[in-house]
């Protein structure tokens, strides 16, 4: 009886040892697999690049924007030293300054024209020998109604001739006509030989700088049915 019990105890001990080793081996396998999985997850963001995971995806655009800003800040504008004006111009500063000067000049011209009231004239003189007269026609425009003084004269191969001065009332825009009559003999010959006529228009009671602003030089002679006529040359128009 004692030997049989001893044999039974020995079989139980063997079963316990086998179970312990089996559980130990299973534990090692599980630990090994977990280590491999953890190592693979840790290495994935470095290998995958910008789309590897949330951390890489969130940081990469910011880094790119910072790099672009650095490149923009690093770009230098081209500058030029103006020895005459003793000033340094960078980028579009010169063009902007020139544009400002042009705009100031245009504003001054508009203010000047407003002071002179009459802002533009287009004159024409026609000789009418059979009627012994010269016909002066002026198309004009201005900022308001005004009393004006008109003076005209000619010069040519047979000398100069003053055709006097007149006063008239101009509206804001219109056409003025005047006839210088009684041109006979020498005076008509001077008129027909004229190389140019000069017509001056000025609003009364305006600043001195308005004098001569609207002086028109008619130096283009052309042929007409009743006689020659003179108009402003294209090169002289303002």
What are the structural domain ranges in the chain?
A: 1-40, 79-113, 118-236
List CB contacts of 86: < 8 A, sequence separation 6 or more: none
For residues 190 and 9, the model is more confident at 190
Check whether 58 has a pLDDT greater than 60: no
Check whether 87 has a pLDDT greater than 60: yes
43 pLDDT band (50/70/90 cuts)? low
Say which CATH architecture domain 118-236 belongs to: Sandwich (2.60)
Output the CA torsion sign for 206, 208, 209, 214: positive
Render pLDDT for 135-176 as a digit per residue (tens, 0 to 9).
999 999 999 999 999 999 999 999 999 999 999 999 999 999
The number of residues in the chain equals 238
pTM of the full predicted structure? 0.55
Least confident of 15-24, 106-115, 123-132: 106-115
Render pLDDT for 19-38 as a digit per residue (tens, 0 to 9).
777 777 778 777 777 777 66
Beta strands of 100-172 (E only): which ranges?
118-128, 133-142, 146-156, 159-170
Contact 118, 154 (CB under 8 A): no
| pLDDT of the residue at 48 | 47
56 pLDDT band (50/70/90 cuts)? very low
């Amino acid at each position: 009886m004692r030997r049989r019990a001893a044999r039974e105890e020995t079989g139980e001990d063997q079963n316990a040892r086998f179970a312990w080793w089996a559980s130990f081996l299973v534990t090692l396998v599980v630990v090994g697999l977990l280590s491999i999985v953890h190592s693979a997850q840790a290495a994935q963001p470095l290998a995958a690049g910008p789309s590897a995971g949330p951390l890489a995806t969130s940081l990469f655009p910011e880094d790119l924007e910072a790099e672009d800003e650095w490149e923009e800040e690093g770009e230098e504008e081209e500058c030029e030293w103006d020895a005459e004006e003793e000033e340094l111009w960078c980028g579009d500063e010169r063009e902007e300054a020139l544009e400002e000067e042009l705009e100031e000049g245009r504003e001054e011209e508009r203010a000047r024209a407003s002071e002179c009231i009459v802002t533009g004239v287009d004159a024409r003189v026609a000789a009418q020998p059979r009627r012994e007269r010269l016909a002066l026609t002026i198309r004009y425009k201005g900022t308001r109604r005004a009393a004006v003084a008109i003076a005209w004269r000619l010069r040519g191969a047979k000398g100069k001739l003053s055709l006097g001065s007149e006063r008239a009332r101009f509206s804001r825009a219109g056409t003025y006509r005047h006839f210088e009559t009684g041109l006979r003999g020498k005076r008509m010959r001077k008129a027909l030989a004229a190389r140019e006529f000069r017509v001056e228009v000025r609003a009364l009671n305006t600043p001195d700088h308005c004098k001569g602003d609207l002086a028109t030089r008619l130096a283009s002679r052309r042929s007409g049915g009743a006689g020659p006529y003179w108009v402003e040359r294209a090169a002289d128009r303002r």
